[in-house]
Amino acid sequence: MAGDGRRRRRLPLSLRRNAVAWERQRPTWRDAKPALIAGALKRAQARPSGNWYVMGASRDLGGDRPLGRTVAGQEVVVWRDADGRTVAGPGVCPHLGAPLRDSPVRCGALVCHWHGLSLNGGPFAGWEPLPAHDDGVLVWVRLDAVGGEEPLDAPVVPRRPVPARALTAVYAGTGVCEPEDVVANRLDPWHGAWFHPYSFVDLTVVDTPEGAGEDAFAVDVSFKVAGRLVVPVRAVFTAPEPRTVVMHITEGEGVGSVVETHATPLGPDASGRPRTAVIEAVVAASDRRGFALARAAAPLLRPLVRTASARLWRDDLAYAERRWALRSTGRFPGA
């Protein structure tokens, strides 16, 4: 495998020979054992999150609006105070309940647009701040009453490439499902080439938690670039905490790159069904150094970044929603 890896690094782009038609690829359903996926999900759910929830992208902080979202039925706002610190708290104005997510930030203070009550991030008039954390890519908020776990000082942030040598993109979508459905989708690597043939081909799961190694799924897969042109990589999937699945590229172009999928429960919709935000951060690294990094690396990293494309998103959310629909009506075959 090592020689294979070296070859891949020298020639990041490959011309796919002996392309196999979609219906002629090897079925993966025998390997994708429901109990294996369920076991990995259960272990993920048992790991501590410290009650931290991903709110959104760091780059959305610092403007003249707070980052506002309902997390597990609670309205939360996050913004940067006058000293540049990330502050958070309830999104309901303590005066008469205005939605603070629609209020402007002025000189680091969140100024309620109904009657001008001004919050600087500290406790005020019954408004109590919540712990917040900006990891440079994502913004997290800690909700102890919702999580019910032992609180941690900081969230469990996955290992990432150094920002100066990385391209970062954050995508967000919403589905009718629970966080575990999003996590279960990502802990099923076997669906890749079958369900997303427009993005992935030649997928082989080379290690699972049943193997001797870590609690991870390792996958050899090629990202489609155009026609028969592909970028072969090895990707390793782990779940460092209950609502996060991380894909690390460990061989091939963009070694060290990560795609983090975070699931944040939003609360029920009008019909009482659960809604979950999927917030995905792509932190793509390249060995190609220097000012031209973005230009030099972008064409090769684009397939990776495109793993967060609209079509993949739509399909994976449909998978998660389907899983929830079956689960909630006692029809899920993997149960």
Q: Which residues bind ligand FES (CB under 6 A)?
A: 93, 95-98, 112, 114-117
Nearest distance in Å: CB 96, ligand FES: 4
* Cβ-based nearer residue to ligand FES, 91 or 147: 91
- Out of ligand FES, Fe ion, none, what residue 9 binds, judged by CB under 5 to 8 A for its kind, is none
- Out of Fe ion, ligand FES, none, what residue 316 binds, judged by CB under 5 to 8 A for its kind, is Fe ion
Nearest distance in Å: CB 318, Fe ion: 10
Q: Is the separation of the CB atoms in 220 and 232 below 8 Å?
A: yes
- Out of ligand FES, Fe ion, none, what residue 65 binds, judged by CB under 5 to 8 A for its kind, is none
Q: Using DSSP bridges, classify how beta strands 105-106 and 217-226 pair: parallel, antiparallel or unpaired.
A: unpaired
Residues 298-327 within binding reach of Fe ion (CB under 5 A): 316
User: What is the SS3 assignment for 156?
Assistant: coil
- Out of ligand FES, Fe ion, none, what residue 98 binds, judged by CB under 5 to 8 A for its kind, is ligand FES
User: What is the SS3 assignment for 44?
Assistant: helix
Of residues 323, 316, 311, the one with CA closest to residue 274: 323
* Cβ-based nearer residue to Fe ion, 202 or 316: 316
Residues 47-66 within binding reach of Fe ion (CB under 5 A): none
Nearest distance in Å: CB 109, ligand FES: 12
Q: Is the separation of the CB atoms in 47 and 239 below 8 Å?
A: yes
- Give Cα 258 to chain centroid, integer Å: 10
* Cβ-based nearer residue to ligand FES, 114 or 332: 114
- Out of Fe ion, ligand FES, none, what residue 112 binds, judged by CB under 5 to 8 A for its kind, is ligand FES
CA distances to 10, 79, 189, 295, 328 from 57, in Å: 33, 12, 26, 23, 31
CA within 13 Å, CB half, 260: 25
